[in-house]
Amino acid sequence: MTDRLLVLVRHGQSEWNLKNLFTGWKDVDLTEQGITEARNAGRRLKAQGIKFDVAFTSVLVRAQRTLDIILEEMGQTNIPVFKDQALNERDYGDLVGLNKDDARKKWGTDQVHQWRRSYDVAPPGGESLKDTVARALPYYVREILPRVLRGERVLVSAHGNSLRALVMVLDGHTPETIPTLNLETGVPMVYRLNADSTVASKLDLAA
C-alpha cells in the first residue's frame, strides 16, 4: 500500500516570536527554545518510524534551520531539499518589525486583529492570508502534492501562514473558519492522503 505521507511543521520559536514582533519576510534565526522545539519535533517523528524521501522549505533561515535540525535528529540529512519563497511567511508590510502591542496602541485592537486574523484584509503594504494562499497553494499543487500521490514521503518546514494556507485546503477550512486556526511552533502534523488527494488521516505530534 502506498503511504502518501505529508508532514507539515511550523518552524521553532524565532527571535522575533520571542520579542512579539511582526516578522513576515524578515530573516531572523531561531531562539534556543526554537532549536529545542525543532529537536523535539525530529525525535517525535523518528519515534513514529517515519523515513522521508524529500523535503520542502521556504527561503527564510528559521524554517530552513528547523528542517535541518529535524533531519539531523532523524539521521536523514541526505534527502533532497527544495527551497522556494512560495512557502515564505505572509508579508506583513508596514507592520514588520513592530511590536504587536505597540501596533494595537497605534491602530486599535480591532484593526490589528483584522490584519492578523481575517482572511482577505491585508496590512498596509503587505499580504492577506488570501494573498498567501494564492502563492503557496499553487506551489503545493504543482510541486509537493504530485510527489505525495506518487508515494514519496514528504516533509514541509514552513511558517504559520503559509502552512495555514495548505491546512485550509487539507482540513476543509473556509474563509470564515480559518481565522481561528493557530499553528503551534515545532509541532509536526502528520497527514496520510487518499489517492484523490483528500485526507485519510491526520495526527498532531504535540508534546
CB atoms within 10 A of CB 204: 10
- Range in 32-36, 112-116, 154-158, 200-204 the model is least confident about: 112-116
Pairing of strands 5-10, 189-193: antiparallel
By annotation, the residues acting in catalysis are 11, 89
Q: What is the pLDDT of residue 88?
A: 98
| Residue 53 cell numbers, joined | 524521501
Residue pLDDT, tens place only, 74-93: 999 999 999 999 999 999 99
Edge to edge, what strands does the sheet with 154-158 contain? 81-83, 54-57, 154-158, 5-10, 189-193, 199-204
Whether pLDDT at 1 is above 60: no
C-alpha–C-alpha distance, residues 118 and 113, integer Å: 8
C-alpha cell at 136: 503557496
Which grid coordinates belong to 152?
514519496
Residue ranges of domains in the chain = 5-204
**Given this model, what pLDDT does residue 15 score?**
96
pLDDT computed for residue 2 by the predictor: 67
| Cβ-based burial of 28 (10 A; exposed 0-12, middle 13-18, buried ≥19) | middle
As a whole number of angstroms, the distance between CA 160 and CA 162 comes to 6
CATH number of 5-204: 3.40.50.1240
Percent of the chain with pLDDT over 70: 99
User: Rg of the Cα trace of the chain?
Assistant: 17
Question: What percent of the chain lies above the pLDDT cut of 90?
Answer: 93
Name the band, by pLDDT with cuts 50, 70 and 90, for residue 62.
Answer: very high
What SS3 state is found at 9? strand
* pLDDT tens per residue across span 162-205: 999 999 999 999 999 988 898 999 999 999 999 999 999 999 99
pLDDT of amino acid 180: 86
